[in-house]
Structure 1
């Protein structure tokens, strides 16, 4: 499995491939104090850890701590959802796929 270094690379891969792409996506938000948050609790200083696997061929993982980068990541995730079949899964499920 090839690792890509940005969500933008994964979005481009999906847009350039006209097959029915399937993406496993894990998003985990925590405050900088490491308390897990729900969507309605999002605050300044939130960290977002994103892991994604595209058709068992591309892998992406990053943790965002900058609020601007966090917003950009969410916009790219939305583009993925518009261009591929995205299934939200846990980090553990992503790690199991990576071990194959």
Structure 2
């Protein structure tokens, strides 16, 4: 599986290919103390993790500490949801796929 450096690369791959793409997506927040938080509990120093797999061929992972960059990534995720089938999965499921 090829790792890409940006969600833009996954969006571009979806736009270039056929219309039946499947994307596995995981998003979660942790504080610097590694405690998982919900959206309403977001605090300063929160890390936002995003992992995505496209058709078991492309893999993206990033940890955001900047809210603006995370918002930009969320805009790309919304675009992906309009272009392809996106399934929300646990982080462990994605980790198993990329380790193969």
With the length of structure 1 as denominator, give the TM-score of the two structures.
Answer: 0.89
> Residue deviations 1:6-53, cap 9 Å, x none?
011111111121231000111111233432111232344432111111
- Alignment partner of 1:19: what SS? coil
* Counterpart Cα distance in 1 of 2:75 and 2:43: 17
* Counterpart Cα distance in 1 of 2:58 and 2:84: 14
1:1-100 equivalent positions in 2, closer than 5 A: 1-100=1-100
Unaligned runs of 5+ in 1: none
Unaligned runs of 5+ in 2: none
Give the ranges of 4+ consecutive aligned residues of structure 1 lying more than 6 Å apart after TM superposition: none
Provide the aligned length of Structure 1 versus Structure 2: 100
